[in-house]
Structure 1
Amino acid sequence: MTQQNFATALARLAKTSAALALLGAASMTAVQAETKSEEPQIEVGRSLSGNYLAARIANTDKDTESASQFFRGAMALDPDNVELKQRAFQTFIANGNFDEGVSLGKQLTQANMAPEMASIILAVDRIRAKEWTAAERELSKDWRSALDRLLAGLVLGWAQAGDNRPEEALATVDALTGPAWFDLFVDYHGGLIALHSGDSNGAIQRLTKAFDNRAAGRAATVTYMRVVQALAVAHWKAGNREKAKEMADHAIAAQPQNPVFEEMHARVVSGQGLNNPFTSAQRGAAEVFLNLGTAINRDGGEDFARVYLQLANVLASKDETIMIQLADLYDQQNLMLRANALFAKIPPESPYFRTAQLEVAINLDALDRFDEAQSILDSLIKTAPDDLTTHLAYGAVLARHEKFAEAIPVYTSLIERLEQPERYHWSLFYRQGIAYERTKQWEKAEVAFNKALELYPDEPNVLNYLGYSWIDMGINLEKGLELVQRAVDIRPNDGYIVDSLGWAYYRLGDYDKAVEHLERAVSLRPGDPTINDHLGDAYWMADRKLEATFQWRQALALEPPSEEEAKAILDKLENGFKEPSPRLAKPEETKPDNG
C-alpha cells in the first residue's frame, strides 16, 4: 500500500469499532460509542468536574472530538481556569480545531502560561497568512528539546524562503545541529528550499546526501521515499532525464505497485516530465510536519504525530499525501469513521484513489459492514485485475469471515494472469495455500506453499506454515522440523512461530523440548489463549500436571479462546487430558499486530 507495508493494512482487518465508555457522573450523559453508522453523539453536562473528567477519559480513548466538546462545556462553566485552557488547547489542535486552538494559544501566551508548542501553533497561523516576519518571531526561540529545535528551525527556513530570502533560509537550515537523525531532514529540506528557489543543481547536491543516508532512511521510511521523489524532480528540472529515471526505478523497486511511484515512473518514461509539488512556502512548511509526524508515529509518539499531521493539514488542506497519512493515523487509533471521511475526499483521478478506497473497504468490514466492503472490493478488482494489493486485501477480508472457498478464486484469478511471478508475489501463493489448506485441499496447498518458497526461500511465515502442516499430518517430519526451526532462526521473537516449534516437538513426542519452546512462546505472547493451552498440554505430557491445570485455567481467562477451544480446555480440566489439543493457531488465524 502507499508508503506503508501491506502487513499494516492487514492488521486493521482485526480491528473492532472503538467503543467509548465514559463515567456516568452527576449531570452528565455518557458518550455514545462509535458505531458502524454514526459518529459519537454527546451531551455536555452542567457539572464542571463531570465535563472535565469526561474530557480526560475521551482523550485517553483518542476521541478528541468528544473531548473538545466536554472542554468547551467545562470552560463555559469556568472561563478563567488556566489548566482547562491548557488541556483544551492541546485537544483542539489534535482534533483539527485549529482556529480555536490559536485563540486559546494567544490567551495563554498573554497570561504567560502557554506551553512551548503554542509558539509553533501561532507560527503556523502566521505562515498560513503569509505573515513571514511574525512567524519568524514565534520560531526564533531557545527550544528545549532537540525535536522542537529541528522542527522550528526547518519551519523557520521555509518562512524565510516565503519571504524571498532563500540564501538566509538555507543558512538557517544548515545551522541546525543535533543527533545523527537530524541529517536526513536537514538535507532533505535544504534540497527542497533550493529547488523552490530554482537552484536545481544545489537541490541535487543536498538531496543526494539525504538519499545516501540509508540508515536514517530505514528509521523514517516515508520521508526517505519523499527524498527519492524530490531527487527525481530535481534531476528532471536540471535536464538529467536518465538520473530522473534511475530515481523512479529505485522507487518502484522499493515499493512495487505503489500507485504514486508508478505514475512518477510513467511520466518520466513518457517524457511528460515531473512537476515540483512544493510551489509555496506553506506547502514546504507542511512537509516538515508531515515528515516529523510520520517519523514519530510509533512507540507512544502517536499523539504528537497526530498534532503534527493536523498542522500539516492546516497549511496544505488539499494535499492528498497529508490526507492519506492523517487518515492512516486515525485508523491506528480505531477512529475508522473519521479515517473514512478523509479517504472519501481523495478524487478518482488521484493516484491515491485506489489506496483510499481499499482502506475504506477494510474499515467498513471491521465495522461489520461486509456487504459494503465487498462491493467496493469487487469494483476495485474489476477496474484493475492485475492489482496485487487489492487481491490480497480482498482475500484477507474473506478469510476473516472464514470464507476460504470464496478467497481461492480471488487469488487464482490473479495468479493465472502472471506471466512471470516475481519475488513480491510470494504472499499471493502463500495465502492461496492457506485457503486450500483450510478447505482440505492439501495437495494444491502444498504446491502453492512450495511456489511461495521458490519465490522467497527464507520467508518465515511460509516456512512455519508448511513445516508445521507436514508435522501435524505425520509426513516429512524431519524436513518439517527443519523448516520451522529456520523460521524461528529468522524471527526468534515471534511468539506464534516459536509456538509452532514447541508444538512440533510436542507432536514428535519430545515433551521436554516442547515445554522449553512453549514457555518461551508464552513469554513472547502471554495474552494468547491457544499458546497458553499448548503449554498446558506439554506440561501434562511432561508429568507436570499441576502446572498444566494452571496453564489451562490461564488460557480460559484470556480472550478470546474460540468456543471449540474453550470446550476442549474445560473438558481437560474436568476429566483430565485424553486427546491432543486443537491444532496450532497459525499466524493468519490470530489477531495480527498493528506494527
Structure 2
Amino acid sequence: MALLLVGAPLAHAAPDPTAYVRARAADAEGAAQAAAAGYAEALAAAPDDAVIALRAYRQALAVGDYVLASRAGAVLVKAGVAPPDAAVLAFAIALKSRDAVGARRAADLLAKGPFDFLAPSLRAWLAFDRSEDAVALLDSAPGDALARRYTQRHRMLLLIASKRTHEAMAAIASELAVSDSEDARIDAATLLGETGARDSARQLLAGDRPEYERLRKQLGKRDKPDAAFGASRMFLELAVEIAGEDMESLSVVLTRAALLLDPRDDRARLFLAEALSRGGSHDLALGVLAEVGKDSPFVRGAAAGRVAVLRRAGRTDEALALAGTLATGAQATSADSETWGDLLVDQGRFDLAAAAYGAAIARDGGQDNWLLHYLHGRALDRAGRWSEALPALQRAVALGPDQAPALKYLGYAQVARGENIAEAQKLLERARALKPDDAEIADSLAWAWYQSGDVAKALPLLERAVQGDPAAARANEHLGDAYWRLGRHYEARYAWRAAALTAENDATARLDAKLAHGLKPRPN
C-alpha cells in the first residue's frame, strides 16, 4: 500500500501454525510486546491472512510499532477489509515521510468514509505546506455541521500560521466565547509563539496555573507551523471528543497518529494512556505516561493518569497513595481531591472520603459543582452523619435540579428514614421523568408510594423495577413487602428469596426474619 510505510522485505518463513496461537495467548495475558512480536511472526508466515493482519494492526498500534502496523494495514487494504481508521494512520505516515502525494491520497480516502468531516481541514493544511492560501480553500470547502466544527477551529489556527494575527485574534475570541476549550487555547498560543506573536500567546496563557507557566516558557521553541502540527491537533481533538465512549481502538489510532506527527505533545500521551488502560493494557499505559518528563506542562496530568491506570489494574494501594499525595500537595486541584475521595469510597473509608470531597468543594471551581456536593453528602450519609449529609445533598439538588443521581439519592434517603415523604416523592418523580428506564429510581419512587400507604400504586412500579434489574436485592425485598401487604404471601416469600441471593450485611438477617415470620401488621 503506497500510503503506508513499508519495512525491509521479509523472508517468507515456513508457516508456523502455533505462532498465531502463541500471540493470542500473549495478547490475552496482557503481554503486549510479546503479542505484537508473535503477530508479526504469524503475519510473516501467512502474509495474506487478513485475520492475522487485523490483530497485528491493532497490537502494533498499541505498542507503537508503525512498521508492523503499515505492513498489516497493507494486507487489510489488499483484502478489502481495512478499517476506516487505517486512512488516518496512512495520512500520518505519509505526512511524516514527506510523501505529499500519499498524504493527498489518504485525505481522499478519508473524504469517502466515516471520517469525511476531517478531510476539508486536512486538505487545507496540505495546501498551507504548498504555500497556497489555505484559509481561502477552507472557506470554500463544503461540509456539514460536524465538518464545520473542525474547519472553524483550524481556520483560526491557519490564520495564525499564515501570520494574519489580527484576524486570528478575532477568531480566537469568537471561538473561546462559544466554548473556552483549553486545547484550543493551548494550540493557538503555541502557534502564536512560533510566528513571533508571543505577547498575544502569553495573553492566552495568562494566570498562575503551573501548566500555563511552563507553556509560556516553551513559547517559540518548536518548529515552524506546518501540516504535521495541524493534523496532529485534529487527530487529538477527535480523540478527546470520543474519550470514554468505548472506542478505545479508535482512540489509540488517533493518538498514535498525533504522536507520530508531533512526538512532543504530551496531551496525546495522556489520552493514549487512557485508551490503552481502558482496553486492558495497563502496563503499556504506565509506560506511555512514564514518557512525560518532569518539566512537561502536563506532568500533573500524567500523575493523575497513573492513578486512574493503577486503579483499573487493581493496584489499589499504589493508586491510593499517589492520589493522596496529589490531593494534599501544594498544587492540589479540586479534581485531585475528588479522585482521592473516590478511591477512599472504594475502600469503605467514608469519613476520610467526606473530608476529601469537602476539600474538593473548597478549591477553585468546587463550590458550584453539584457532583461534588452530591459525593460529599453521599459519603457523609454512608459514614453515619446524616445531619451533615442532608444539607450537602440539598445543595447538590439546588445546583443540579436536573441531575437524576442527586434527586434519587436525596429522595430515597429521606424515604428510608421516614422523613419529609411528600417532598422526597416529588424529587423521585423528577428523577424518574429524567430517567424513566432506571430500575433503581423506579424502585425508590415505588417505595415512597409504599411508605405513604399507597401499596397498590407502588406494586406495578416495583414489578417493573425488578424486571429491569432482576438481581437487585433492594427492589426484590421491596417487592416482597408489597406482595405481603396485599395478602400475596407466596409471591412475597419468592421475592424475598430472590433478594437474599444478592443481599449484603444486615439485609441478610432481615430477610431471614421476613421469610420465617412475614411482616408485622402495620399499626393503625
Q: Which bracket does the TM-score occupy, shorter chain normalised?
A: 0.7 to 0.9
Q: Which residue matches 1:291?
A: 237
- Equivalent in 84, 103, 110 of residue 135 of structure 1: 103
CA distance in 2, matches of 1:432, 1:97: 45
Deviation for aligned residue 1:312: 1.3
Indicate the residue corresponding to 1:149 in structure 2. 116
Structure 2 match to 1:31: none
Letter in 2 for 1:475: E
Match of 2:451 in 1: 507
1:98 to 2:42 alignment: no
Within 1, Cα distance between the matches of 2:27 and 2:95? 28
Give the drift of 1:400: 0.9
Q: How many residues align?
A: 505
2:301 is aligned, of 349, 355, 361, to 355
Give the stretch that moved more between structures: 275-284 or 149-158: 275-284
1:123 matched to 2:91? The reply is yes
Structure 1: which 5+ runs fail to align? 1-45, 253-258, 581-595
Which one-letter code corresponds to 1:305 in the other structure?
S
- Contact 2:476/2:499, CA 8 A, preserved across alignment: yes
Change over 3 Å in CA distance of 1:452–1:119 after alignment to 2: closer
Does 1:465 pair with 2:422? Answer: no
Conserved in 2, the CA contact under 8 Å of 1:105 and 1:121? no
Q: 1:476 maps to what in 2?
A: 420
Q: Secondary structure at the match of 1:347?
A: coil
Gaps of 5+ in 2: 1-13
- Cα distance in structure 2, aligned partners of 1:533 and 1:409: 33
Alignment of 1:487 with 2:431, yes or no, is yes
C-alpha offsets along residues 384-432 of structure 1, whole Å, 9 cap, x if unaligned?
37622122211221111111133344345566x67997312x4444333
3-state SS of 1:423 partner = coil
Question: Could you tell me how far apart the structure 2 residues matched to 1:547 and 1:561 are?
Answer: 18
Q: After superposition, where does 1:228-239 map in structure 2 within 5 Å?
A: 228-230=185-187
Offset of residue 301 of structure 1: 3.9
Residue 188 in 1 paired to residue 132 in 2? no
Contact 1:204 1:234 in 2 (8 A): no
Q: RMSD in angstroms over aligned alpha carbons? A: 4.5
- Tell me how far apart the structure 2 counterparts of residues 284 and 313 of structure 1 sit (CA, whole Å): 12
- Distance in 2 between the 1:58 and 1:178 partners? 44
Secondary structure, aligned partner of 2:424: helix
> Residue 113 and residue 356 in structure 1: after superposition, are their counterparts in 2 closer, same or farther (change >3 A)?
same
Q: Which residue of 2 aligns with 1:369?
A: 315
Which one of the candidate residues 412, 426, 432 is aligned to 2:376?
A: 432
Q: 1:108 to 1:273 in 2, by over 3 A?
A: closer
Aligned to 1:326: 272
Question: Are the counterparts in 2 of residues 423 and 456 from structure 1 also a CA contact under 8 Å?
Answer: no
Deviation at 1:568, TM superposition (A): 6.0
Contact 1:324 1:356 in 2 (8 A): yes
CA 75–157 in structure 1, closer or farther in 2 if over 3 Å, else same: same
> 2:129 maps to what in 1?
162
Whether 1:337 aligns to 2:283 is: yes
> Equivalent residue for 1:393?
339
Residue 24 of structure 1 is matched in structure 2 by: none
Aligned-pair distance for 1:371?
Answer: 2.8
CA distance in 1, matches of 2:479, 2:388: 32
Alpha-carbon distance in 2 for matches of 1:462, 1:142? 43
Q: Does 1:226 align with 2:180?
A: no
Map 1:44-123; keep pairs closer than 5 Å: 52=20, 68-81=36-49, 84-85=52-53, 87-105=55-73, 115=82, 118=86, 120-123=88-91
State the distance in 2 between where 1:153 and 1:405 align: 53
Contact 2:397 2:407 in 1 (8 A): yes
Q: What one-letter code is carried by the residue in structure 2 that aligns with 1:337?
A: D
Can you list the C-alpha shifts for 1:436-478, whole angstroms capped at 9, x where unaligned? Answer: 3223222222243344455555554333323322221122222
Letter in 1 for 2:431: A
Structure 1 vs Structure 2: percent identity of aligned residues? 25
Give the drift of 1:528: 4.6
* Distance change in 2, residues 1:242/1:532 (3 Å): farther
Q: Which has the larger radius of gyration?
A: 2
What is the letter of the counterpart of residue 430 of structure 2? Answer: R
Residue correspondence of structure 1 range 475-554 to structure 2 within 5 A: 475-522=419-466, 525=469, 528-543=472-487
Which of the pair has the greater relative contact order for Cα pairs under 8 Å at 6+ separation? 1
> Once the two structures are superposed, what CA deviation does each residue of 1:336-390 show, in whole Å capped at 9, x if it has no partner?
3332322333334444322322332243244443332232123213323762212
How far the C-alpha of 1:93 sits from its partner, in A, is: 3.2
1:200 maps to 2:165: yes
1:117–1:561 distance in 2 versus 1, CA, 3 Å: same
| Alignment deviations for residues 249-282 of structure 1 (CA, whole Å, 9 cap, x no partner) | 9xx9xxxxxx97x855x799xx999779884432
Q: Give distance in 1, aligned partners of 2:30 and 2:140.
A: 37
The answer to whether the 8 A contact 1:362-1:397 is kept is no
- Is the 1:470–1:477 Cα contact (8 Å) retained in structure 2? yes
Q: 1:328, CA displacement in angstroms?
A: 1.9
User: Partner residue of 1:422?
Assistant: 367
TM-score by length of 1: 0.69
CA distance in 1, matches of 2:246, 2:452: 42
Q: What amino acid does structure 1 have at the position aligned with 2:148?
A: D
With over 3 angstroms needed to count, the CA separation of the structure-2 counterparts of 1:445 and 1:117, relative to structure 1, is closer
Q: How far apart, in 1, do the equivalents of 2:296 and 2:126 lie?
A: 29
Report the Cα distance in structure 2 between the residues aligned to 1:479 and 1:137, rounded to whole angstroms: 63
Corresponding residue for residue 305 of structure 1: 251
CA contact (8 A) 2:421 2:448 kept: no
Decide whether the 8 Å contact of 1:233 with 1:244 is kept in 2. Answer: no
Identify the range of structure 1 (295-304 vs 428-437) with the bigger mean alpha-carbon deviation: 295-304
Tell me, what secondary structure is at the counterpart of 1:448? helix
Contact kept? 1:423, 1:455, Cα under 8 Å: yes
* 1:125 Cα deviation after fit: 1.9
Equivalents in 1 of 2:451, 2:26: separation in Å? 48
